[in-house]
Amino acid sequence: MILLKQLLLLSFVLPFAYAEPPLIVQINQPQLDKVDAEAHCTSWRVAVEANNLSPWKTVPEECRDYVREYMSGRGYLHDLQRVADETVSYARSVELNGDGKLAWVFDVDETLLSNLPYYTQHGYGSEIFDGGKFDEWVEMGMAPAIESSLKVYEEVLNLGFKVILLTGRSERYRGVTVENLFQSGFRDWGMLILRSSEDHGKTAMMYKSEKRIEVEQEGYEIVGNSGDQWSDLLGSSMSKRSFKLPNPMYYIP
Amino acid sequence: MILLKQLLLLSFVLPFAYAEPPLIVQINQPQLDKVDAEAHCTSWRVAVEANNLSPWKTVPEECRDYVREYMSGRGYLHDLQRVADETVSYARSVELNGDGKLAWVFDVDETLLSNLPYYTQHGYGSEIFDGGKFDEWVEMGMAPAIESSLKVYEEVLNLGFKVILLTGRSERYRGVTVENLFQSGFRDWGMLILRSSEDHGKTAMMYKSEKRIEVEQEGYEIVGNSGDQWSDLLGSSMSKRSFKLPNPMYYIP
């Protein structure tokens, strides 16, 4: 009986297929294009996360929709959660001897605090970065915590690591940054290092490397480092292990 | 007329939907599962490529099909081509002064030569690595070139870089490795460094770091490094820029 129904259905549908081929094409084409764009832009995103790309200024035009969907959908949250799980698992495996000299470095933007409310209004990285507008957003001190990172932060803190916040934000935003971090649930860090006047003009990698060297000179051993940019993680005095949080919206050298 | 046909089609299809709901569920469920598995395993693969995972021994069970499809389909080739394009673009941007002291390091397995014929027969990384069987494959000297890497290799060579092959293969495979590389089109390298007896027992990262230090002590500056493992790229005397070729099949610490 089902077979008969299916044959009847087929005999009914087939004439459509042959009579109006453009209609069939119109139905299938966007799906095919979407699959291709998805594969192409996933490849681009993997290259971002593996640090294979030359410095880039905006999300490639053909990947704008892809990045918007990734950032506003489950993809970003899924990837954040995976990094968080790996981080906690590693942090717990480190033997702490109680001397308080094992340090964990966290970047701030897109690592502890999320600027997604800003980027949602600015094309998710598809617009050229506007420093003035972004600074206005920073000054509001409204960036929410990345939930999975807040849990990592609390775990790292409770395990007994010295928590060091190392951000590319300028020293003049110390007040608002402290307040924003507090209001988003981040407490009890050991140091908060911001860019002072002599650090301006340095690449993030250079500035952060220098600061890690200073941290080591103070007697700390950096065993973990979490950041959304490779310039948070590479350079001198690199951490024993690094955790690269996802970020397909912007690139900082 | 089209509207009428569509209404007729709808009136014909609807009774199926309501009469046999389990059939509908059977049709939709596998697709949904596949989308979920795809998202989950893409997230895993991104974590591999971003070096976020703890050492792992096999591809996670739920991602076996995903990795097989990726490696045997367009995904792997697409990602290889992207890395190749980025590599050539960077290599061309380097100013060579003709003194022959700028070096480029290439790993061999899954960077220049492909062991995909072997892994195709061994579950694409879903089986525990069998050193004995893999050595038999290496001794055959049948690994084909990764096409996109051969083009990168030739470009890097022609630009005037000193090409250094640095592989985790044992010194006793020098003969077969040279022959395999030749037969796959790789020529004119400056050095081919294999693991000597005193290097056994060292991690790949330690061994390769030591060898890069020696290369620098001989007066070379390493400006490019291509490898499919992060242990090819991280450690001491790191290259100015590194290129991580995709490899979701195995992990070497």
Contact: B90, A54; criterion CB under 8 Å: yes
Contact A50/B47, CB-based, under 8 Å? no
Hey, is the C-beta of B82 within 8 angstroms of any chain A C-beta?
Answer: yes
Tens digit of pLDDT for each residue in B183-194? Answer: 999 999 999 999
Residues of chain B found within 8 Å of residue A74, distances taken between Cβ atoms: 39
pLDDT at residue number B31: 52
Return d(Cα B88, Cα B104) in angstroms, integer. Answer: 12
SS3 readout for A75-103? HHHHHHHHHHHHHHHHHHHCCCCCCCCEE
Composition of chain A by helix, strand, coil, percent to 5:
55, 15, 30
Q: Is A243 helix (H, G, I), strand (E, B) or coil?
A: strand
Exposed, middle or buried by CB within 10 Å (0-12, 13-18, 19+), for B25?
Answer: exposed
Which architecture characterizes domain B36-244 according to CATH?
Answer: 3-Layer(aba) Sandwich (3.40)
Whether residue B157 contacts residue B188, with contact meaning beta carbons closer than 8 Å, is answered with yes
Could you report the per-residue pLDDT of A21-39, keeping only the tens digit for each? 333 334 344 455 776 889 9
Q: What are the phi and psi torsion angles at A83 (to 5°)?
A: -60, -40
Q: Residue A188 has which token pair?
A: 């009890």
pLDDT tens string B82-115: 999 999 999 999 999 899 999 999 999 999 999 9
Across the A:B interface, residue pairs with CB atoms under 8 Å apart total: 82
Which residues does chain A have within 8 Å of residue B83's beta carbon, measured at their own beta carbons?
Answer: 47, 52
Confidence of residue B21 (pLDDT cuts 50, 70, 90): very low
Domain ranges of chain B: 36-244
Q: What mean pLDDT value characterizes chain B?
A: 90
Chain B interface includes A202 (CB < 8 A): no
CB atoms within 10 A of CB B224: 22
pLDDT band at A10 (very low <50, low <70, confident <90, very high): very low
Alpha-carbon distance A244 to nearest alpha carbon in chain B (angstroms): 6
Contact B243 A75 (CB under 8 A): no
Whether chain B has a CB inside 8 Å of the CB on A205: the answer is: no
Percent of chain A exceeding pLDDT 70 equals: 87
Residue B236 is classified by DSSP as: S
The answer to whether residue A206 neighbours chain B at the CB level (below 8 Å) is: no
Residue A195 scores a pLDDT above 50 = yes
Show the beta-strand stretches assigned E in B94-189. Answer: 102-106, 162-170
Q: From the options 2.30.30.140, 3.40.50.1000, 3.30.70.270, 3.20.20.140, give the CATH code of A76-244.
A: 3.40.50.1000
The answer to whether A82 contacts B52, with C-beta atoms less than 8 Å apart, is yes
Q: Which residue has the higher pLDDT, A241 or B2?
A: A241
Of A139, A111, A101, the closest CA to residue A208 belongs to A111
* Nearest-CA distance A211 → chain B (Å): 19
Q: Which of residues 97-126 of A touch B (CB under 8 A)?
A: none
Helix axes A21-49, A2-19, angle to 10 degrees: 90
Q: For the segment B140-164, what is each residue's pLDDT rounded down to a tens digit?
A: 999 999 999 999 999 999 999 999 9
